[in-house]
Amino acid sequence: MNRFARWGLAWCAQLALLCPLLLPSLGQADTPPQVALWPTVPFVRGQDLCQYQDSYGRSRSQQTQDMSRMLGELIRNGADTQQSTQLLHTMDRLIDHGRRLATTGYGMDVLLEGSFKAALDRLYEEQHPRQRKLSFYNASALQERVRILREQQRQGYLPDVLIKGLTGIAWGTYSYSPNCQGDVVVTLHIETSSGQTLSYQARGLPQWVMGQIGAQVFAQFQKTHFPSQLQYQGKTLELLGSPGTPIGVTSSSRKAEYACTCMQGRLPTVGEYIFLSEMGDWNGGVNSAQGLWALSKARVMAPEMPRPSIVRSSDEFHDVKIQYFCVRQLDEKPLPNACAR
């Protein structure tokens, strides 16, 4: 059994120990407020799609025609039949040998893991959210981490007492892209302690592909999820979303207001829209700096049209898409349910 297979079996055994500890702690949610991942992110190599495309992307008759064409060109250029056949076989062997050298070893999984962590850290540094909702749980002592790195190992076994703070695990697969130009297709899976599994996929050069996946993961965990709560003017404001989607789209502010009433909520005020927009998508807010946003009393907020006012009558606009979401203050008196009328 080779080293990679032994490492894979050891990781699976460790994963079997982790899963029972992960499942019972949190209730089901859209995305947990904070997730601490196991620090090792294993990546398992899948089918070589480049080789697969070479072998099965063309029919047998097409491959035979290509080989016959190359053999004919060699003969026309002065090579005899035996030399031409040997040359074609040699070229095939050299190509296969080069591919084996390029994919030998166990470094691709380490590269993908490191690139993923670096991409996430870069996004958190650039966006500066108040709360980091995804991190890597490193419970071992620093000297133990140094020993693991010195021995060129990956962090594996953790005692039960150290993994109580673990709330998620991540793993992935990668395969070489069918375009045979050095790209890889990477899929990353994250399972949270609530039992929720999130999957992400991207394709690109090995040193860049995890940047795409890192952006997907960052957006998934940091974006505002409905329902959620935050403090506004000393009171708790609950963001409900819309009946069908987090951010609803309608042709009429009246329809949006009615929908919010049916959710025992209301449309945001101008001040609430502006405050939530300043909070931003990564801090529990909603960016409303563009487009039209529904207000009560058949009005809309048009941030891109400040003169004479960003507050306009919805009658000024026809055949447009008006965005909205519903809110309520937890200490507000519930609005009468107009849906029952």
Least confident of 14-23, 148-157, 309-318: 14-23
258-279: string of b/e by CB count within 10 Å (b at 16+)?
ebbbebebbbbeeebbbbbbeb
Q: Identify the top-confidence range among 61-65, 104-108, 144-148, 282-286.
A: 282-286
Please report the pLDDT score of residue 109 as a whole number: 87
Give the pLDDT mean for 139-148: 54
Any idea what DSSP says for residue 162? G
Please report the pLDDT score of residue 48 as a whole number: 72
User: Per the omega criterion (within 30 degrees of 0), is the bond before 129 cis?
Assistant: no
3-state SS track over 193-206: CCCCEEEEEEEECH
Query: Per DSSP, what are the bridge partners of residue 323?
Result: 249, 293
Confidence grade of residue 194 (pLDDT, cut at 50, 70, 90) = confident
Between residues 40 and 212, which one has the greater pLDDT? 212
pLDDT of 270 > 90? The answer is: yes
Percent pLDDT > 70 in the chain is 63
Give the pLDDT mean for 28-40: 70
Q: Could you tell me if 335 and 240 are in contact, meaning their C-beta atoms sit under 8 angstroms apart?
A: no
298-326: string of b/e by CB count within 10 Å (b at 16+)?
ebbbbbeeeeeebebebeebeeeebbbbb
Confidence grade of residue 216 (pLDDT, cut at 50, 70, 90) = very high
Q: 239-247 contacts: CB < 8 A, separation 24 or more?
A: 239/276, 239/284, 239/286, 239/325, 239/326, 239/327, 240/265, 240/325, 240/326, 240/327, 240/328, 241/325, 241/326, 242/324, 242/325, 242/326, 246/325, 247/286, 247/323, 247/324, 247/325
Average pLDDT, the chain: 78
pLDDT of 291 > 90? The answer is: yes
Least confident of 43-52, 92-101, 170-179: 92-101
| Residue 321, SS3 per DSSP | coil
pLDDT of 90 > 80? The answer is: no
pLDDT of 145 > 60? The answer is: no
